[in-house]
């Protein structure tokens, strides 16, 4: 028996047969970075193999004056940004092979010096005569890309190191000694992001699941590389069970004072001050917390930052507990400390979230997990909410409540709290 095709399917087949498929036209975009420790700068060159494929790149240069000495094949036009003191710059490439070259400052203070002293307390990023710890986001600022239809940029990153410097590490796949492939399918404008470290380095490597893991620091900086690898190996199965993501690489970089005494995540990468313990006296792990940030990629909207920061701290405790690395006595001590620290918190909906507010967010999330388990007879948990949030670029408090209540199957008593108003 023969069945007639629906009219809509016939129209689709006719369109496919009569319209030639347009293949994407690959255009090379090469980033070349020359590190200049004598001036605390990097010279960056962007080169397009076919400049005519890109109408313009509109860069956000920030308000700190980090970028200078622009030279362009084609037109370069600096503009004022939308906020006071901010700067932008528009590059309209020439036809054929076209380059844009500029310089960028590497070192950035974490704590501003007091008016009475010129001494910098600590650094977010730093360049010394022997090494440089930096972010890819600083090397190439964000930009709005306007390109010809059908254009696919193919991006690579290459470093030129100063004399005596041995190697460079990034979170991107290596395709040569100091060359890396930049491929971010979620972005139209592929640019290098994440933590990067260059110099004379000491590194330890392993493979966890489908991810190549590197822990690296400048030699002589006291980085406990094997401790870091051991902790990652210990929590990895629990991490993967909640956040089933498999990046090709994970890079953990570190350095000693005067680098900032903290830990923070970047694109498939983590910075950890080498003086910080892998597990703190409170029983929590800043390394695991930032690992959760890398894998979950859960980001709250403005006034909803409590979601991403709260979940990261929640799982820093919970994953350690599930892996058997936290006793019940230690867990109760952590609970008591968070309750004490957060007793004066009345709202989680601030522009910036404090350590006390993060602690209160963790307590709220623990209550929510218990509510979900009770209402679903242990068939679901906060893990199901977190896995749903992974699919969103950003999340608002309203969306968080809606998703949680869809998992519960009804209204949440916990999330009716005045903390979220």
**Residue 181 near residue 217 (C-beta atoms within 8 A):** no
This prediction has a pTM of: 0.90
At 245, list the tokens.
């993501």
- In the chain, count of helices (H) and strands (E)? 9, 21
Q: At what angle do helices 382-389 and 225-242 cross, to 10 degrees?
A: 100
Helix residue ranges per DSSP H, 261-354: 286-296, 305-322, 328-341
26-108+149-190: CATH topology is: Immunoglobulin-like (2.60.40)
Q: Which of 213, 200, 143 is CA-nearest to residue 168?
A: 200
Buried b / exposed e along 125-162 (16+ C-beta atoms within 10 A): bbbeeebbbbbbebbbbebebebeeebebebbbbbebb
**Residue 404 near residue 413 (C-beta atoms within 8 A):** no
pLDDT at 6 (0 to 100): 53
Q: How far from each other are the two terminal CA atoms of the chain, in whole angstroms?
A: 62
pLDDT at 120 (0 to 100): 58
At 56, list the tokens.
């313009």
pLDDT at 114 (0 to 100): 43
Q: What region, left, alpha or beta, does residue 415 occupy, with left being phi > 0 and alpha being psi -120 to 50 degrees?
A: alpha
27 to each of 101, 180, 186, how far by Cα in Å?
Answer: 18, 17, 18
Mean pLDDT by 10 residues, the chain (421 residues): 48 47 79 98 98 96 95 94 82 98 96 50 95 97 94 95 98 96 82 97 96 97 96 97 94 96 96 92 88 96 95 96 93 94 94 92 98 97 97 95 97 96 88
Chain centre distance of CA 28:
25
25 to each of 49, 99, 187, how far by Cα in Å?
Answer: 12, 19, 17
Q: What region, left, alpha or beta, does residue 245 occupy, with left being phi > 0 and alpha being psi -120 to 50 degrees?
A: beta
Per-domain residue ranges for the chain? 26-108+149-190, 298-420
Q: What region, left, alpha or beta, does residue 150 occupy, with left being phi > 0 and alpha being psi -120 to 50 degrees?
A: left
**Residue 310 near residue 358 (C-beta atoms within 8 A):** yes
pLDDT at 187 (0 to 100): 74
Buried b / exposed e along 211-222 (16+ C-beta atoms within 10 A): bebbbbbbeebe
The domain made up of 298-420 is a member of CATH 1.10.3470: no
Q: Would you give the DSSP letter of residue 246? A: -
H/E stretch holding 158 reads: strand 151-160
For residue range 270-295, list pLDDT tens digits in order: 999 999 889 887 778 999 999 999 99
């Amino acid at each position: 028996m023969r069945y007639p095709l629906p009219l809509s399917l016939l129209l689709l087949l006719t369109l496919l047969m009569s319209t030639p498929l347009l293949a994407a036209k690959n255009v090379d975009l090469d980033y070349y970075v020359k590190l200049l420790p004598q001036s605390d700068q990097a010279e960056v060159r962007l080169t397009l193999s076919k400049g005519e494929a890109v109408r313009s790149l509109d860069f956000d240069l920030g308000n700190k004056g980090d970028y200078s000495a622009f030279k362009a094949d084609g037109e370069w036009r600096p503009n004022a940004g939308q906020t006071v003191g901010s700067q932008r710059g528009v590059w309209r490439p020439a036809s054929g092979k076209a380059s844009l070259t500029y310089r960028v400052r590497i070192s950035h203070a974490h704590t501003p010096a007091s008016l009475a002293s010129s001494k910098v307390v600590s650094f977010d990023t730093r360049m010394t005569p022997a090494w440089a710890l930096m972010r890819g986001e600083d090397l190439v600022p964000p930009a709005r890309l306007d390109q010809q239809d059908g254009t696919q940029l193919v991006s690579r990153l290459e470093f030129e190191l100063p004399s005596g410097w041995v190697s460079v590490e990034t979170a991107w796949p290596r395709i040569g000694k100091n060359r890396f492939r930049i491929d971010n399918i979620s972005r139209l404008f592929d640019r290098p992001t994440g933590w990067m470290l260059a110099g004379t380095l000491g590194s330890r490597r392993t493979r966890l699941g489908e991810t190549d893991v590197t822990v690296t620091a400048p030699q002589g900086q006291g980085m406990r590389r094997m401790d870091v690898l051991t902790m990652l190996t210990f929590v990895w199965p629990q991490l993967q069970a909640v956040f089933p993501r498999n990046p090709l690489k994970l890079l953990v970089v570190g350095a000693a004072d005067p680098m900032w005494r903290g830990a923070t995540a970047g694109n498939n990468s983590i910075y950890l001050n080498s003086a910080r313990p892998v597990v703190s006296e409170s029983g929590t792990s800043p390394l695991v917390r930032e690992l959760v940030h890398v894998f979950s990629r859960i980001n709250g909207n403005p006034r909803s930052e409590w979601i991403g920061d709260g979940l990261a701290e929640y799982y820093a405790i919970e994953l350690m507990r599930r892996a058997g690395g936290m006793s019940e006595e230690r867990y109760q001590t952590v609970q008591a400390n968070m309750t004490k620290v957060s007793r004066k918190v009345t709202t989680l909906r601030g522009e910036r979230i404090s350590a006390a507010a993060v602690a209160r967010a963790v307590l709220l999330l623990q209550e929510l997990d218990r509510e979900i388990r009770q209402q679903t007879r242990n068939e679901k948990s906060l893990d199901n909410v977190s896995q749903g949030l992974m699919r969103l670029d950003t999340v608002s408090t309203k969306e968080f409540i809606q998703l949680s209540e869809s998992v519960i199957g009804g209204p949440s008593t916990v999330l009716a709290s005045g903390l979220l108003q």
